[in-house]
Amino acid sequence: MKILLITPFSKYNSIRWIPLGVSYIASLLIKNRHIVKLYDRSLKGCCTGDKESVNKDMKSEILRFKPDIIGFSTVSPVIYDALECIDYIREFFDGIIIAGGHHATAMPELTLKKISGLDFVAAGEAEYTVLSLANGDKPSGIPGLFSRNTDASGFKNYQIKALDRLPFPEYRIFDMHYYTGANRSSLRGFYLKTACILSSRGCPNNCKFCSESLTYGKGIRFHSADYVVENIKKLIIDYKVEGLYFHDNNFLSSYSHAENVCEKIISNNLHKKIKWGIQAGTTRVDDDILKLLSKAGCVKIEFGMESIRDNDLKNMNKNATKGSNETALVLCKKHKIMAHSYFMTGFEGEKISDLNSTLAWIKRFKPHTFSLHPLKIYPGTELYETSGNKFFENNKWDRDSIEKYFNTEHFRNIDSEEKKKWYLEVYKPFSARYHRKALLNANSLPSLFRMIWIKYFSKRHY
């Protein structure tokens, strides 16, 4: 069969992470002799910013390729794009349309109800579900496939047990010139040709706001170190990458897995060819593992610290404390691994003085880079259930409503004008100064020259 995969439209994307979910679906389909193409609305959107011309171009592509199945990846903040796009495609396409990803997995029944042109949802990890559909299996017997006739009460999302049975991600369907183009965001602060990779799926924790672990679920599963290293070699040989970002929710959730990967990287001499970064929980770092990570070429660890107040961390069921956040930064410094601290804003009872304390804390503990994101309430999360707003059930999935919902601070304590003023007058200049310094610390002079050259003098259009 012919399958066209489509990513959601996005006008701006500073971090060039390859959509790994799509790449794995494509690779399994191709291995099983199906013909796969990608229409990357996300990348086209970044290049043109013009949705109408992207839609026209997509239509021509669909009419030319004549797919049997169209697959959409969905995320909640732009679910209106899937809805608009599927309505539009239904005007000239009568094949199968299926949606997967975080949003469709979180609410399969409602997604089918709201998006009338959609036939199925692939809930959870979609590789084998989409393959069975493409192979022509009877929909009612396909694990993870949700249709309008599915009984939601006994339904289970699909989870892949043996990850190594999956072929390597299919990179050829992407514009790898873009996705591995040198940039300073993919491996925060390091200006490198960077690709992303997965060595495990799932997360053992239950943070109340987390939508990240919805698709992969709770049971954590691992690729073997051999699989990971072969995947890295492929990226170095085929795409000349200089940096790697492990997309695992917590690379250190199993020490033995992390040790095996590090040792294989070292024994294959890859630590001399690439710099790499991971995400990890602050309670999982210690001297032994950091020493090995550093030896294996790990230069960056991103920590979801969220807050410097224990009360916020406890309320969000974060498996961390202010103390573990501080210790993690001290240990990283000792082992010369740079750290990124993710923080959230918009916790219950937050005051401007709390925001200033966070900046003072950053100055004191000096993560290499940091970011501050508003707390958002995604469907499928515990926070969504307990907040009781049932936004997606009770509202239209149009752009205005969805954008308004995701721009709302649900536990707002600070007046929005006061917060905007703080953001513009305090946070923004602080962050700009801080990250300029971080860039100088992490990159060699030739690398900085390359960055300036590409930004100001080359004809690269993204």
CB of 82 vs ligand SF4, minimal distance in Å: 23
Place of tokens 């599927």: 86
CB of 254 vs ligand SF4, minimal distance in Å: 14
CB of 201 vs ligand SF4, minimal distance in Å: 11
Interface with ligand SF4, residue 380, by CB under 6 A: no
Contact with ligand SF4 (CB under 6 A): which of 67, 77, 304, 380? 304
Site string for ligand SF4, 224-253 (x = CB under 6 A): -------------------------xx---
What DSSP element (H or E) covers 290?
helix 287-295
CB of 210 vs ligand SF4, minimal distance in Å: 3
Contact with ligand SF4 (CB under 6 A): which of 25, 97, 207, 442? 207
In the bound state with ligand SF4, the residue whose beta carbon lies nearer, of 105 and 213, is 213
In the bound state with ligand SF4, the residue whose beta carbon lies nearer, of 45 and 217, is 217
Kindly give the interhelix angle for 352-365 and 322-334, rounded to the nearest 10 degrees: 30
Interface with ligand SF4, residue 210, by CB under 6 A: yes
Q: Are 365 and 332 in contact (CB under 8 A)?
A: no
Interface with ligand SF4, residue 301, by CB under 6 A: no
| φ and ψ of 366, to 5 deg | 50, 60
Kindly give the interhelix angle for 255-267 and 287-295, rounded to the nearest 10 degrees: 30
Interface with ligand SF4, residue 200, by CB under 6 A: no
SS3 of 353, please? helix
**Residue 358, C-beta contacts closer than 8 angstroms, at least 6 positions apart:** 307, 308, 343, 372
Q: Which listed range, 88-96, 205-213, 227-235, 383-391, lies at the site for ligand SF4 (CB under 6 A)?
A: 205-213
Interface with ligand SF4, residue 379, by CB under 6 A: no
Handedness of CA 452, 456, 458, 462 (dihedral sign): positive
Cβ-in-10-Å burial (0-12, 13-18, 19+) of 273 comes to middle
Q: Which listed range, 39-47, 206-214, 346-354, 433-441, lies at the site for ligand SF4 (CB under 6 A)?
A: 206-214
Contact with ligand SF4 (CB under 6 A): which of 175, 212, 259, 310? 212
Rounded to whole angstroms, the Cα distance separating 428 from 191 reads 21
| φ and ψ of 36, to 5 deg | -125, 140
Interface with ligand SF4, residue 213, by CB under 6 A: yes
Kindly give the interhelix angle for 225-239 and 255-267, rounded to the nearest 10 degrees: 40
Rounded to whole angstroms, the Cα distance separating 411 from 387 reads 10
Interface with ligand SF4, residue 203, by CB under 6 A: yes
Report the DSSP pairing between strands 194-197 and 243-246.
parallel
The size of the interface with ligand SF4 (CB under 6 A), counted in residues, is 11
Positions touching ligand SF4 (CB under 6 A) are: 203, 205-207, 210, 212-213, 249-250, 281, 304
